[in-house]
Structure 1
Amino acid sequence: MTSNPGAKLNSRRESSNKNVYSLSSNGYDDKVYTYGEAINLAGNGRYSFGLLATLSVCTLAMGVDMFGFSVVVNGCTCDFNLNISQTSVLLSMPFVGPIVMAYPWGYISDTRGRRRSLLIAMWISFAVSTASAFSPNWVVMAVLKFVSTSFCSCAQSASYTLLGESCSEKARDSYMLIMTSVLDFSLAAYVAVAYFILNMDFSYDMGALTFTPWRLLALALALPLGIGAFGTHFFYESPKFLVNVQRHDEALECLRKIWRRNNGKGDKYPVKRIILNEEGNERRKDASLVQSLWEQIVPLFKPPLLWRSIMLYFFTAVIFSTNNSFFIWFPYLAEKFTAGMNSSAASHETGLCNMIVSNNNDTSEAIECTSTMQISLVWSSLAQGVSFVLIMLVITKLAYRKKALMIIIMTFSGLASMGAALIRDNLTSFIMFFGLLTNELCIGIIYTYFVDLYPTSYRGMAACIGVMVARASALSGVNLLGAYIMTHCSAMFYTCGGLMLVAAAVSFLLPPDVRKK
């Protein structure tokens, strides 16, 4: 009569694996929770909102440090007497750094922790980016920007992974899209700051260098990196990562703290045993560093993960090669469009491409080196940022329909790209150009898939390789666009539109949407 409880206990212990944390209470084991159940019980409150805000600052800081460098280069052109080739080298540095460091950051994130990798990356990037404001020449600035962006690029993968593993499943998709909407506002943020600082008129002789407005701008754009790094100290490591590396006590303690700061319901946090319930998390503990690095990446390109990797990296390449290239060139294209609208030929309906090319060929006015910025660029950047944020906040209500959103957004962006070249109405063609840029809204969806479709052990590496693919694609897109936008403008828009329509077609092969309850 007394053998049944013991038999049940033994049966449950035999069915457990090394991913289960076991505690005994009065001779009986407590209920086993999956990680999804455990994080859902931790709730969604002040901790989750604070983590979302802090990691959004980190991603915004990354965007400002990488893309805001274009306005810094514009500001230092006169001081360093930059020519076209030197300017091209400088503008390439924010893309080269992340390509080099993507693999190491993926390994560090998966083996040492998401929070730890983020803290190291943000603090070092803040220090180096601050130092770049005092560069004596363009070569030193290029080297420092290479180092700075090599580190801050970790934010794009580590922030999404940490947020996705530390908030409830119901809120995860919405939070990913909200964080992306903050990244979408980076253009408006750094252009607005640059307008006020670069239009200042001061110069201080510091002996080895002269402190002018562009140096103050570099300091201002580095500040969000420090704010993001400081804020990350107030949050915890991903409990899912801790469970995966057998640090169960720390994982449960983090979950209890998250539950407490979220004003969790009940007298105490009920979870005492967790199982990941995932396949593909097995790793050898006695492997050498080289073997460990190799074993970390090979599974991503073997069944069953191979097809997932091909699809997600294809989407990443299409989005970043088209979006980031036009994003970098946005200030230049907006300036040419504004000049065309203000010219005597504005009454003629020529379309975006004709206005860009004709104004680029206009050499009637003498060229003077200037570091100031026009207010029209600020207004157009604010319009882009505000409209994208509003769109993103609307579609967060449909965050669980990731597949449908991918298909709709990529189709719309592809058609808008073609419309920008086809439509002859000047204002409408420029609005179509804004429509092309809406494919950036898919970035948050892509990183949600990185969290959903990969085992915990390889999730950080998968996301970081995604960053490497993104920056390599962006680097190629920026150089191709710069080389051909003036000679084959319409063809560039048609090509981008075609790529996005192909991506929309491939999106039909994504897993079906499942609404999280």
Structure 2
Amino acid sequence: MANKGDGDRRKKDSVWTISHSNREEYACPYGDAINLAGNGWYSATLLATLSSTTFAMVLEMFGLSVVVSGATCDFDLGLAETSILLSMPFVGPIVMAFPWGYISDTYGRRRSLRIALWVSFAVSAISSFSPHWILLAVLKFISTSFCSCAQSAAYTMLGECTTENSRDAYILVMTSVLDFSLTLYVTFAYFIVNLDFVYHLGFITFTPWRLLNLVLSIPLGLGALGTYFFYESPKFLVNVGRSDEALDILKNIWRRNGGRGKYPVSKVYLKEEGNLKSQDLSFLRSLWDQIIPLFKPPLLYRSLQLYFLTAVVFSINNSYYIWFPFLAEKFASGFSSTDGNSTVEQVNGLCSIIVSEHQAAVSGATCSSTVDLSLVWSSLAQGASFVVILLLITKIAYRKKLLMIIILSISGFSTLGAVVINDSITSFIMYFGLLFNELCTGFIFSYFVDLYPTSYRGTAACVGVMVARAGALGGVNILGAFLMSHCTATFYGTFALMLSTVAVSFLLPPDKSLNKTVST
């Protein structure tokens, strides 16, 4: 079935190899069609835009920690109220994760992103004028319910619109951008919350923390605007039977990526069952049919693996991140008070400082909503180091199983070191190592792209978000309840969980070499 000469075309193991001189149009699977569309300007700007949407989501969700810190005095927040507010970024996505997966798989990746980001932006901005902490909690529940769509939809769309050879590296780069979110919202908090102004608006007093919340909502609107400059995922369109529209988009991607001549594909198809819904199905039955295949063979085994990894990694990482401003300031305060001549008994490294400083604060202190400069420097050190590490490993991003095992092992033993090392600086460096597991989040979501059919990929990723936030919700509240009273045991439990993720990572599919190339 092949012609001789320069225009040869071969189909080998379902992968097309095209010679440079061949410009004949032909039908091919979607994977080869997107590879032919190339990797250029469109791909790079899509990466930047989708990174901005996930970045905006992280600012909205985790920036709440410094917003709550600033609102403590205005609302007279105690530990219980603080824990409820800090839980909202995780409760919202738990409720809405599956509906967003359904919308993404049935109405499109780009459409779901637009709706989610615009609504989240509006509600988040309104929350800046909340007269009571309960209303603030409700509005944050709504805003994070919508913006949580960004994590699953953005990863899915990026994975479907980039070439196979660049996909894992792009997902890693997008993850590395998120590592600077902590630095950004802490820096904003330092310069805004420390301002000295009060405006009486009648129903509220507008103070710096409200301005901070308003500033942190702006990236959501900017991310929504950015999506208007890009196309819907062609793979989604093929999957729902709109192949002609998908082919037009692939041709446009080819041109915007710098392709010259004629895009050599006349028809594109999927080597899997499409997502053509029956009109006779009720909405609830359609939802059921969308999710149940994830928990039946042959997907059941992979679902259990990935959702376990998701639950543990996100519960540990998110809970320690959301409490990071508190922990970092306690450490900085405790370290400056000891200053080499220990006035605080250092029994268990980081734990002794955190607990002793908490006891000192409880014994009596005036309410303060300021942000210490030490928090800015520590978050900058964490963000810069993580970004550098991620960019260094992008060259071997396809070895994600090996990298996950290494990263999770480092995170686990760093957790142990944080409590058994008595030196203050070393123990806090170990705390940074604990957060190292964040580097695995991109790998985990790339597995959702690689291992699930297109019809269920968005749903699988959104259920992953739901599992992630449910784990994080439990982690935030457990950490808040036990860190002061059972600090050492909390870190030991974290260490055991991290070791379990290492064991499960060994069961993931083997890394594949990227030897399938398509030249044009």
Q: Same fold (TM over 0.5)?
A: yes
Equivalent residue for 1:326, pick from 320, 325, 329: 320
Q: Could you give the per-residue CA deviations for residues 132-172 of structure 1, whole angstroms, max 9, x where no partner exists?
A: 11112112111111100000000000000000001111110
CA distance in structure 1 between the aligned counterparts of 2:362 and 2:510, rounded to whole angstroms: 57
Q: Structure 1: which amino acid aligns with 2:330?
A: K
In structure 2, the residue matched to 1:296 is 290
Deviation at 1:281, TM superposition (A): 5.3
CA distance in structure 1 between the aligned counterparts of 2:127 and 2:362, rounded to whole angstroms: 37
Deviation at 1:30, TM superposition (A): 4.8
- Aligned-residue CA RMSD (Å): 1.7
Q: How high is the sequence identity, in percent, across the aligned residues?
A: 65
CA distance in structure 1 between the aligned counterparts of 2:371 and 2:250, rounded to whole angstroms: 49
CA distance in structure 1 between the aligned counterparts of 2:365 and 2:240, rounded to whole angstroms: 60
Equivalent residue for 2:267, pick from 255, 262, 273: 273
Q: Are 1:135 and 2:130 counterparts?
A: yes
Q: Are 1:56 and 2:51 counterparts?
A: yes
Q: Are 1:71 and 2:66 counterparts?
A: yes
In structure 2, the residue matched to 1:241 is 236
In structure 2, the residue matched to 1:455 is 453
CA distance in structure 2 between the aligned counterparts of 1:242 and 1:86, rounded to whole angstroms: 45
Map 1:72-221; keep pairs closer than 5 Å: 72-221=67-216
Secondary structure, aligned partner of 2:366: coil
Q: Are 1:314 and 2:308 counterparts?
A: yes
Equivalent residue for 1:442, pick from 440, 443, 459: 440
CA distance in structure 2 between the aligned counterparts of 1:444 and 1:145, rounded to whole angstroms: 25
Q: Which moved more, 1:473-482 or 1:355-364?
A: 355-364
Deviation at 1:219, TM superposition (A): 0.8
In structure 2, the residue matched to 1:467 is 465
Deviation at 1:285, TM superposition (A): 4.7
Task: Note if contact 2:83-2:480 (Cα within 8 Å) is conserved in structure 1.
Answer: no
Secondary structure, aligned partner of 1:478: helix
Q: Could you give the per-residue CA deviations for residues 354-378 of structure 1, whole angstroms, max 9, x where no partner exists?
A: 1111222225974111211100011
Map 1:323-472; keep pairs closer than 5 Å: 323-344=317-338, 346-348=340-342, 350=347, 351-362=349-360, 366-472=364-470
Task: Note if contact 2:241-2:274 (Cα within 8 Å) is conserved in structure 1.
Answer: no
In structure 1, the residue matched to 2:491 is 493
Q: Could you give the per-residue CA deviations for residues 273-320 of structure 1, whole angstroms, max 9, x where no partner exists?
A: 112113585754532211111000000000000001000000001101
CA distance in structure 1 between the aligned counterparts of 2:36 and 2:74, rounded to whole angstroms: 57
Distance 1:371 1:267, change over 3 A: same
Q: Could you give the per-residue CA deviations for residues 305-359 of structure 1, whole angstroms, max 9, x where no partner exists?
A: 0001000000001101111111111111111111111114644454111111122
Q: Could you give the per-residue CA deviations for residues 56-92 of structure 1, whole angstroms, max 9, x where no partner exists?
A: 1101100000010111111122122223322222111
Distance 1:346 1:330, change over 3 A: farther
Q: Could you give the per-residue CA deviations for residues 357-406 of structure 1, whole angstroms, max 9, x where no partner exists?
A: 12222259741112111000110011111111111111111100011011
CA distance in structure 1 between the aligned counterparts of 2:508 and 2:236, rounded to whole angstroms: 26
CA distance in structure 2 between the aligned counterparts of 1:146 and 1:358, rounded to whole angstroms: 33
Distance 1:363 1:454, change over 3 A: closer
Task: Note if contact 2:65-2:325 (Cα within 8 Å) is conserved in structure 1.
Answer: no
Secondary structure, aligned partner of 2:323: helix
CA distance in structure 1 between the aligned counterparts of 2:375 and 2:140, rounded to whole angstroms: 24
Gaps of 5+ in 2: 2-23, 516-520
Task: Note if contact 2:26-2:264 (Cα within 8 Å) is conserved in structure 1.
Answer: no
CA distance in structure 2 between the aligned counterparts of 1:150 and 1:458, rounded to whole angstroms: 21
Task: Note if contact 1:128-1:148 (Cα within 8 Å) is conserved in structure 2.
Answer: yes
Give the paired residue count: 490
Distance 1:285 1:398, change over 3 A: farther
Secondary structure, aligned partner of 2:195: coil
Equivalent residue for 1:228, pick from 208, 223, 248: 223
Distance 1:356 1:298, change over 3 A: same
Task: Note if contact 1:281-1:455 (Cα within 8 Å) is conserved in structure 2.
Answer: no
Q: Could you give the per-residue CA deviations for residues 411-438 of structure 1, whole angstroms, max 9, x where no partner exists?
A: 1111111111111111111111111100
Deviation at 1:271, TM superposition (A): 1.0
Q: Structure 2: which amino acid aligns with 1:64?
A: L
Gaps of 5+ in 1: 5-28
Q: Could you give the per-residue CA deviations for residues 36-65 of structure 1, whole angstroms, max 9, x where no partner exists?
A: 110011111111111100111101100000
CA distance in structure 1 between the aligned counterparts of 2:477 and 2:120, rounded to whole angstroms: 25
Q: Could you give the per-residue CA deviations for residues 468-497 of structure 1, whole angstroms, max 9, x where no partner exists?
A: 000000000011111111122111111111
CA distance in structure 2 between the aligned counterparts of 1:512 and 1:451, rounded to whole angstroms: 16
Q: Which moved more, 1:292-301 or 1:479-488?
A: 479-488
Secondary structure, aligned partner of 1:509: coil
Task: Note if contact 2:315-2:476 (Cα within 8 Å) is conserved in structure 1.
Answer: yes
Deviation at 1:196, TM superposition (A): 0.2
CA distance in structure 2 between the aligned counterparts of 1:500 and 1:389, rounded to whole angstroms: 22
Secondary structure, aligned partner of 1:274: strand
Distance 1:364 1:78, change over 3 A: closer
Distance 1:285 1:510, change over 3 A: farther
CA distance in structure 2 between the aligned counterparts of 1:396 and 1:145, rounded to whole angstroms: 34
Secondary structure, aligned partner of 2:97: helix
Task: Note if contact 1:340-1:346 (Cα within 8 Å) is conserved in structure 2.
Answer: no
In structure 2, the residue matched to 1:23 is none
CA distance in structure 1 between the aligned counterparts of 2:188 and 2:137, rounded to whole angstroms: 22
Secondary structure, aligned partner of 1:369: coil
